[in-house]
A and B are shown apart, each in its own frame.
Chain A
Amino acid sequence: DGGITQSPKYLFRKEGQNVTLSCEQNLNHDAMYWYRQDPGQGLRLIYYSQIVNDFQKGDIAEGYSVSREKKESFPLTVTSAQKNPTAFYLCASSLRQVSGANVLTFGAGSRLTVL
């Protein structure tokens, strides 16, 4: 079955460490996204990519980095520069750039806790 796979599901990190969250999709979607969700908050866009080897910053890109070397993969690195990284991270994809009636399909999420 087609879908989006995020790993790891749970991750604990010490302060000062970089961590990379994996996101893989086999939906043949062009666009991929990373969101962050904090308790009681809406989803906030970190980065998005419309095509391979291209990506744009979202609303809260500081302290994060991404790459899009393959259509299927869009890993997110949470760097030590991110001041408050503990959150639920959601990867999503869509058939093309979100406009009109295109909808997002989400992965199951990665829950990062900084100790």
Chain B
Amino acid sequence: RKEVEQDPGPFNVPEGATVAFNCTYSNSASQSFFWYRQDCRKEPKLLMSVYSSGNEDGRFTAQLNRASQYISLLIRDSKLSDSATYLCVVTDSGGGADGLTFGKGTHLIIQP
């Protein structure tokens, strides 16, 4: 069975700090990887795709480690508004909605 695992947290981090969390996946044939952000009682929204070479968007950096089968998200200079649940999403090589697996999310709380 395909598994996508995340530390549920919560991660309590002071404002301005750097925080990082990982997501491990079990299917070595997985092809596409994403981080979504979900605010409390809201819908998930795409934060960033994760490319093999890694990618950066402002304070956010996502990386893929295929050998160890995990992706990571690093947030620098954290803001109060970064408080949310971060969902890891993995798609397998077969495509189709049933090939897309969501992690349960990592809850991040930025404290003033």
Contact = CB atoms under 8 A, between A and B. Distances in A.
Interface of A: 31, 33, 40-43, 45, 48, 56, 58-59, 88, 90, 97-101, 103-109, 111
B24 interface: no
B95 A100 contact: yes
A33 B97 contact: yes
Given A42-B4, A42-B103, A99-B91, A106 B98 contact: no
A42 B45 contact: no
Nearest to B105: A42
A70 B66 CA distance: 40
Nearest to B97: A48
A58 B44 contact: no
Given A103-B46, A103-B49, 5 more contacts: A42-B103, A98-B97, A99-B95, A104-B44, A109-B43
Given A42-B102, A99-B99, A108 B43 contact: yes
A97 B43 contact: no
28 contacts: A40-B8, A42-B4, A42-B105, A45-B97, A45-B98, A45-B100, A48-B97, A56-B97, A88-B41, A97-B96, A97-B97, A98-B91, A98-B95, A98-B96, A99-B91, A99-B99, A100-B91, A101-B32, A101-B49, A103-B34, A104-B46, A104-B100, A105-B46, A106-B43, A106-B44, A107-B43, A109-B41, A111-B41
Nearest to B100: A98
Given A98-B91, A100-B32, A59 B104 contact: no
A100 B49 CA distance: 11
Contacts of A40: 8, 104
A91 to B, nearest CB: 9
**Which of B95, B98, B100, B101: most chain A CB closer than 10 A?**
B100
